[in-house]
A and B are shown apart, each in its own frame.
Chain A
């Protein structure tokens, strides 16, 4: 279970990016994080995966703190940016192997998982090529595979559907559901409200660094559409 308690993050010039934000993500849950550009989604996510420090608050995953025990914390998670810059001079398989080595995944398991997911995403025959030769979508798929093969307790995705073709998007959604059935939880940000509506168990809406709504989909939207609720909340001063 991911617990974010009273998280606040201020950038150097005094700009408050995240202001006293709290949320919980239970095991087996898909949690959608919605907000306009610059609302603080990526900052929150980066704090949650331990790549950005913060002034106030607490972030724990199964009671392991991202500040006090970052290594153990990170062993449980996988993170994917919206525009993954990968090691362009490595081949696809070298990159996956690198990730597996870091996470200590055994030889047989990695072979099986890489084979499975590379085949599903149809990039198995490209794994021997340099990442620099990949298209944006292929890089996105490779980064996704590198996240999935870790079988993380928490998968954190920043705009995961950007750059994916419809088939790949469908596959990602299916894999997300499958991972949740196995006990993992997924925390992802998105601009696409339809995706959030179809996929998420819980959602949170962030505006100017503050949470303005959170709960189950039904709790947040009631009998309105998610788009209407979102527009009302972000336009309300």
Chain B
């Protein structure tokens, strides 16, 4: 047990970069980064809190005030399932320090168990965003006792184990299936994307019809399809037997998985490497490209080879298209009354569409693209290419991935809102400028806060300082711009003028970000020690 604790502790310190805060002298940039990280965490919590409160109120108004907790548990568990399916195999069986740990006097069980604990700890950081707000909102609309809080706190630690271990079992068996690596990667991207998209469509499109539909269809169905969530929900509400059974089953599964998977620990790890070797290559011809194109292709290959990276990026643009369709459905209303003003609904929708298109660029590829170079940074830095070419290849990929969604959303707006040429042009220009600016901001912040010594790419993509800070700035840009345009529209009742001002500010933001990248970013890139 002592050895497991040692490995867990070392893993934890290493993967969460704990030493940076406690052992090293903290400089100003680390403190600023930490504060921004804290702020972004609060913003995300606030977002989930508001979301949960809206649903909590709706449930409460319909006489089912406790359902919000069930919703938090179910959504949190689904988020864990999506995350675990994609990352558990690499966390448990193909991690960076496999050779080192296996060479130490540790058993496979000890190593695997320590990895599972590491995986569980990582997933707590996802689960907390759903669970904590739902518990707080539950306590607002329901009377709570001391026992409830004890069970709710214990529940936080217990609930994620069940879905996590089930997914680890699935992932473990998938590791034995010898399918084409490319197909495996495509499936890893498509399955969670479809799953999350369908869930999002169900939630967003039913929200607007009738409360009863939401209550009776979506969450009842979720509870039916994910019964363990409902089971432990009853447990936290006070059914001690439910709580005990869920906890026992979770721990039993954890122990079983550790014993079971550790028996073939080496074999699974070897399979990951063995599957890929063909040894049948015959060099016949090669293609020649320009350095910039070659850098771009390299970026694209790196991007698509990491399913977590793709999923993290692609969901925002997909959601933006769904939201666009949702916004457009409101077109039956001709006017909207705000205070004394009677506003043209079409113009309001148009301004909302711009904000929606901007959302598509929020999860930027660039905010982790420098960090993901990791120990390979020496290749980029020793190449005879301008730093600007490296930046362009990274920003270019971001734009290329987001661009189709921007165009789809623009097309939806043009067709359904029957935009005039000038309106369409302004819409596209503003959208493009925001996409470019967000890509540059992501890259710039990653240059300020690179994390090259990561244990696993997922750490960089999902929970690095750079990603969180970029999220704050892109949010400020998007919502700041939207606010300015809407205020301008409310004052002038002139949509074109509001759009023109938005375009001007977007252009300034873009130029400023370019300047920052050129002046400070280039310097930071050159100073990166690899």
Contact = CB atoms under 8 A, between A and B. Distances in A.
B382 A101 contact: no
B301 A89 contact: yes
Interface in A91-149: 91-94, 97-98, 100-104, 106-107, 110-111, 114-115, 118, 124-130, 132-133
Interface residues of A, number: 49
B181 A130 contact: yes
Interface string B337-376: 0000000000000000000000000000000000000111
A127 B294 CA distance: 18
Interface residues of B, number: 42
Interface stretch (B189-197, B383-391, B425-433): B383-391
Contacts of B298: 87, 90, 98
Interface stretch (A18-26, A44-52, A197-205, A229-237): A44-52
Contact of A87 (B279, B379, B385, B530): B379
A127 B281 contact: yes
Interface in B168-183: 181
Contacts of A126: 277, 279, 281
A71 interface: yes
A133 B287 contact: no
A71 to B, nearest CB: 5
A93 B283 contact: yes
Nearest to B302: A89
A87 B273 contact: no
Interface stretch (A30-38, A72-80, A183-191, A206-214): A72-80
A85 interface: yes
Contacts of B384: 70-75, 102-103
Contact of B378 (A51, A72, A101, A129): A51
Contacts of A56: none
A86 interface: yes
A27 to B, nearest CB: 19
Given A89-B305, A93-B286, A130-B181, A102 B374 contact: no
Contacts of A127: 281, 283
A110 B385 CA distance: 19
A87 B301 contact: yes
B297 A98 contact: yes
- Interface-centre pick from A86, A94, A102, A124 (highest chain B CB count, 10 A): A102
A51 B291 contact: no
A72 B281 CA distance: 34
Interface in B270-311: 273, 276-283, 285-291, 293-295, 297-298, 301-302, 305-306
B281 A101 contact: no
- Interface-centre pick from B285, B295, B298, B376 (highest chain A CB count, 10 A): B298
Contact of A106 (B25, B277, B288, B386): B288
B529 interface: yes
Interface of B: 25, 181, 273, 276-283, 285-291, 293-295, 297-298, 301-302, 305-306, 374-376, 378-379, 381-386, 526-527, 529-530
12 contacts: A50-B381, A51-B530, A75-B384, A85-B378, A90-B301, A93-B283, A97-B287, A98-B298, A101-B293, A104-B291, A127-B283, A129-B278
3 A-B pairs with least C-beta separation: A128-B281, A101-B294, A89-B305
Given A53-B527, A114-B283, A127-B283, 6 more contacts: A71-B385, A85-B375, A86-B376, A98-B294, A101-B288, A129-B279
Interface of A: 13, 46, 49-53, 70-75, 77, 79, 81, 84-87, 89-94, 97-98, 100-104, 106-107, 110-111, 114-115, 118, 124-130, 132-133
